[in-house]
Structure 1
Amino acid sequence: MTEPGAVTRSLLAIPGNGTDSSTWAGQICAACIDGLDIDGAALSVLSGSTARRTLCASGPVAERLEELQFSLNEGVCMEAAATGRPVLVPDLREATEAARWPLFAAAVAERTTVTALFALPLQCGVINLGVIDLHRNRAGALSPQQQRDALDATETATELMLGMHGAPRPPAGGPAPQWLDTPAGSRTEVHQATGVVLAQLGISAVDALARLRGYAFAHDRLMGDVARDVIDRRLAFTDDMS
């Protein structure tokens, strides 16, 4: 039997009971940072309704990466969530990689010093429960041992996630557990703002969210900031606004 790696050993030491979601996610991010020689980490959970909730971001840079991906609707985390496969990018400045997510790559280069990103889905069968996002401020791939440890750790984290909430393994093709459906923080504000724009313009929720994203991108702002302006009535959408 293969000996578990450093990250997995740290995860197995996390108490199974009496730990809230945010504390648990913070322990997972800390274990990844310590065991994989990276500079930051974030963990987000997803749901069948496409809501996304960031449980932990290890610092301002990790938080900014999460917000950029949500605002622009592209990036390593979004791809890992959509495909259920790891997305490993040793150097986002490399032309081929940057072309995969042109808006995200440009924003990362402009607003951070991050160069390498690794997104690891928390997969239960065919259902994606969430994603662990890792980043480095220097180019370079995870070593073969680090990659094995990271993939093993995501399996352990998934089992911890389900066990902590007393949730059974979801059936193949079934919905994600309902405890993942509760948005929090700026995501709640985005959902509220989407409802306001929907009422203002008489459009669908999907189109209202697209209008929010388009406005945020056109004005070089984060989605959370735009959402707060909409909720506080500092910003109203009209049919002819850009």
Structure 2
Amino acid sequence: MVERSEVLLPLLRVLAADTGGGSASERLCRAAVRLLGARGGALSLGATEDRVVVAATSTTARRMEDLQDLLGEGPSFEAFAHRRRRDTLTSSVASVHVAFETAAYGLLGDVRVLAFPFPVDDARAVGTLTVYADPAPWSRTRLEVGTRTAALLGVVLLEQESFEEMLHGTPWQHRVLVHQATGVVMTTLHVPAAESLSLLRAHAVAEDVAVVTVARGVVEDGDTAWLGAPSPRPRPGSDGR
């Protein structure tokens, strides 16, 4: 099984190499699509009635989401409603969503459309990552990477909070550590403060530890390998000899 920590570093590397600009959501969307080797994709938040497409890699990707809104069906809706991955071929003749497949085939041709939910818990999802790719079946590992990527994206998108909101009620020493670690992420990946903080939180979720634990590792131990950057060499004598 692919662990969350195995997905975060590759995602960060792709994100760091992205020079396309745009909002955090747009950059994350492009990074996810590239990581999964897809042709394009989109990120959406909210339920069917109030669903909002927050990012898309192209006009075609956004039209695919608009198409689902218009028809009231499709893989994004299914993944959100059932909190499970949905895998659809636009050339399928046995699908229960014939209207979507027919219209999507006219828009994209013969492609595989996969929708991965952003889970909050076992009972709820908050949005979806939907990508379209070549029609060939995906391997189990690739599907697991898609599932883990969507889970991490959900954390980042939902945790775009200010420093004070995130750190409210925590000891001031912890606040200092998180502020300092956020600065390291900003410098390393060249991303804004809010996005850097969200990435710290995503790494904490991936490792199942507190944010301050990740921050302490970055600031005090030089643990930046998860950012795709080498950890600094120990200073002479730092081992006490």
Aligned to 1:39: 39
1:154 equivalent in alignment to 2:150: yes
Q: Summarize deviations over 1:74-104 as a string: whole Å, max 9, x none.
A: 1101111111111022x331222xx321111
2-side partners of 1:114 and 1:32: how far apart? 21
Shift of 1:153: 1.2
2:115 is the counterpart of 1:119: yes
Matched residue, 2:70: 71
Alignment partner for residue 101 of structure 1, among 97, 102, 110? Answer: 97
| 3-state SS in 2 of match to 1:100 | coil
Equivalent of residue 164 in structure 1, options 160, 168, 172: 160
Aligned length: 157
Paired with 1:38 and 1:145, the residues of 2 have a C-alpha distance of: 15
2:220 aligned residue: none
Which whole-Å deviations, capped at 9, do the CAs of 1:130-155 have from their partners, x for residues lacking one? 1111001x311222221121111122
For the 8 Å contact 2:115–2:128, the answer to whether it is kept is yes
Asked if 2 retains the 8 angstrom alpha-carbon contact of 1:57 and 1:63, the reply is yes
Counterpart of 2:26 in structure 1 is: 26
Instruction: Choose from 115, 127, 130 the match for 2:127.
Output: 130
CA–CA distance in structure 2, aligned partners of residues 157 and 132 of structure 1 = 8
Percentage of matched positions with identical amino acids: 20
Q: Could you tell me how far 1:73 is from its partner in structure 2?
A: 0.4
2-side partners of 1:106 and 1:45: how far apart?
A: 25
Say whether the 8 Å CA contact 2:90–2:109 is kept in structure 1: no
Structure 2 unmatched ranges of 5 or more? 17-21, 167-241
Aligned residue number for residue 227 of structure 2 = none
Contact 1:116 1:140 in 2 (8 A): yes
| In structure 2, C-alpha distance between the alignment counterparts of 1:112 and 1:92, rounded to whole Å | 8
Is the 1:114–1:135 contact (alpha carbons within 8 Å) kept by the matching residues of 2? no
Letter in 2 for 1:63: R
Partners of 1:109 and 1:44 in 2: CA distance: 21
Equivalence for 1:176: none
Contact 1:11 1:157 in 2 (8 A): no
**2:91 is matched by which residue type in structure 1?**
R
The correspondence of residues 215-226 of structure 1 with structure 2, limited to 5 A, is none
In structure 1, what is the equivalent of residue 233 of structure 2? none
Q: Check the 8 A contact 2:4/2:148 in 1, yes or no.
A: no
Q: CA deviation at 1:11?
A: 4.1
Matched to 1:31, the amino acid is A
Structure 1 pair 59–3 and aligned structure 2 pair: CA distance change class (3 A): closer
Tell me the SS of whatever aligns to 2:49: coil
* d(CA) in 1 for partners of 2:114, 2:60: 14
Structure 1, gaps ≥5 residues long = 16-21, 169-242
Q: Whose radius of gyration is greater, 1 or 2?
A: 2
Cα distance in structure 2, aligned partners of 1:81 and 1:100: 17
Q: Which amino acid aligns with 1:74?
A: E
Q: 1:11 to 1:165 in 2, by over 3 A?
A: farther
TM-score of the aligned structures, taking structure 1 as reference length: 0.58
